[in-house]
Amino acid sequence: MPATLLRIHPENPPHSRIQQAVEVLRKGGVIIYPTDTVYGIGCDVTNAKAVEKVCRIKKLIPEKANLSFICHDLSHISDYAHGITTSTYKVIKKALPGPFTFIFEASSNAPRFGGTKRKTVGIRVPDNQIILQLVKELGNPIVSTSVREDENTIDEYVTDPDLIFEKYRMLVDLVIDGGFGGNVPSTIIDCTDDDFELIRQGAGDIEQYL
């Protein structure tokens, strides 16, 4: 079945449309959604089969894939990560929602991609009302990986929801059109040593929050 293209207002997403997307996720569907950086491909983090499908689409090995996931707010982070000090928490509280992926030590509750227990977990809280409302309504984080195929190249389709739909319509279950997206990914920061080690410079500047 080809995917559905669902247009949602980026600033005031109607609850009925958010609910429509949530139903797809609850049935094990894979969706494409807007963030505050690049459009993402994802699913309910608790659905192992859906996570495997995301990995197949991106040609990733589940147990080796560095999939991050999107939380609605900071309250979710403590469920999946541990060892977060007060000083680290103060920084991420200032930086989120925003274009960052923070890497922490994984707690025992962290999802097992490919059945493998993870040592670390990447967390995102994007500054985008569509995906935040979707995660809140779902009640679980959403697996997140970029629609970009190669981080070193910029393809025209990654910013245009109609072009994304044409490319992925036979691979996913739903594409959310929340307006044009960006082509610069999130900034990745490793916080596992109670430090803020820059792994990848993206759209966010962590220095202004330190």
The closest alpha carbon to 131, from 22, 204, 5, belongs to: 22
Mean pLDDT to the nearest integer, 143-148:
92
Q: How far apart are CA 107 and CA 5, in angstroms?
A: 36
Mean pLDDT of the chain: 92
Q: Give residue-wise pLDDT tens across range 89-129.
A: 999 999 999 999 999 999 888 887 766 778 899 999 999 99
The residue behind tokens 């025209």 is 156
Mean pLDDT to the nearest integer, 161-186:
96
Mean pLDDT to the nearest integer, 80-91:
92
Share above pLDDT 70 across residues of the chain, in percent, rounded to a whole number: 96
- Structure confidence at residue 167 (pLDDT): 95
- Structure confidence at residue 75 (pLDDT): 86
The closest alpha carbon to 35, from 168, 204, 151, belongs to: 204
The two structure tokens encoding residue 159: 């910013």
The two structure tokens encoding residue 164: 């994304």
- Structure confidence at residue 94 (pLDDT): 97
The two structure tokens encoding residue 132: 């935040």
- Structure confidence at residue 155 (pLDDT): 72
- Structure confidence at residue 188 (pLDDT): 97
Mean pLDDT to the nearest integer, 70-77:
90
Q: Give residue-wise pLDDT tens across range 192-210.
A: 988 899 999 999 999 999 9
- The yes-or-no verdict on residue 151 having pLDDT over 70 is no
In this predicted model, which residue has the larger pLDDT, 153 or 173? 173
Domains of the chain (ranges; CATH) run 4-200 (3.90.870.10)
Mean pLDDT to the nearest integer, 11-34:
98
* Ramachandran angles phi, psi of 93, nearest 5°: -65, -35
In this predicted model, which residue has the larger pLDDT, 157 or 104? 104
pTM above 0.85, yes or no: yes
- The yes-or-no verdict on residue 68 having pLDDT over 70 is yes
In this predicted model, which residue has the larger pLDDT, 30 or 113? 30
pLDDT band at 76 (very low <50, low <70, confident <90, very high): confident
> In three state form, how does the secondary structure of the chain look?
CCCEEEECCCCCCCHHHHHHHHHHHHCCCCEEECCCCCCEEECECCCHHHHHHHHHHHCCCHHHCCCEEECCCHHHHHHHEECCCHHHHHHHHHHCCCCEEEEEEECCCCCCECCECCCEEEEECCCCHHHHHHHHHHCCCEEEEECCCCCCCCCHHHHCHHHHHHHHCCCCCEEEECCCCCCCCCEEEECCCCCCEEEECCCCCHHHHC
**What's the helix, strand, coil split of the chain in %, to 5?**
35, 20, 45
